[in-house]
Structure 1
């Protein structure tokens, strides 16, 4: 009888471990989370809503980075101004109730997405500005417009 239960236990264990779609219970590392976000942003179509304004805000951040070499000053000066400008622009153009806390926290990753793009494209600044804009659109979709997959595709570039 014991052998029967041991065999059942081994078969069930083999099925569980051999199942496709196995997910680790360990939390994702920061690098894994950023890579996953990079893929999500890459799938996000750029929006035409506030497009010129977002590009201008990105260029202002890049100019600010050129004059502030110290990382702390970049965070305090450039990134704070960047987030403030994006929130003001979104309040002006989007008429829905945001998840403001998460938006402000997560929008700070978009400059990191820009830097990753620069590494991937060999310093193609204009392509990476568009990619950072896609990140902004992704965050607006997720935390301001009400859904990760923004359904009003007529507002997207094709």
Structure 2
């Protein structure tokens, strides 16, 4: 048991570093690019040309993934003192949250779908910041009127009452 107690933090930190390196190198994206010719392509000549996905949708998906990772991590560490390896892991997750949020705000939507998704994501981030009663709190902030008006316009246009 003493040997396990000594080796477990080392192994945990090693796994954390491997995960961080994999994330920083964007291994999944590189794999997809390397094997892009293996993905199925429609052969029907009459089929409409494939739409290029709005880049903001991928940025939003990455941001929401980072938020989910933090939620899961916080739940796993709730009510107890974190180890050094866990504190390092938390810092990595927080950096990823900040980076993916910044990427969303820096990405200009190129489609109506992307613009609607960006407004919904702004509402999602407001809910994360202010809690379930974010709409009332947002009205007290400078951006609140703008965000709520944009969200109402998106919901009216798409018929989606999302966040």
TM-score, normalised to structure 2's length?
Answer: 0.29
Which structure carries more relative contact order (alpha carbon 8 Å, separation 6+)?
1
TM-score, normalised to structure 1's length?
Answer: 0.30
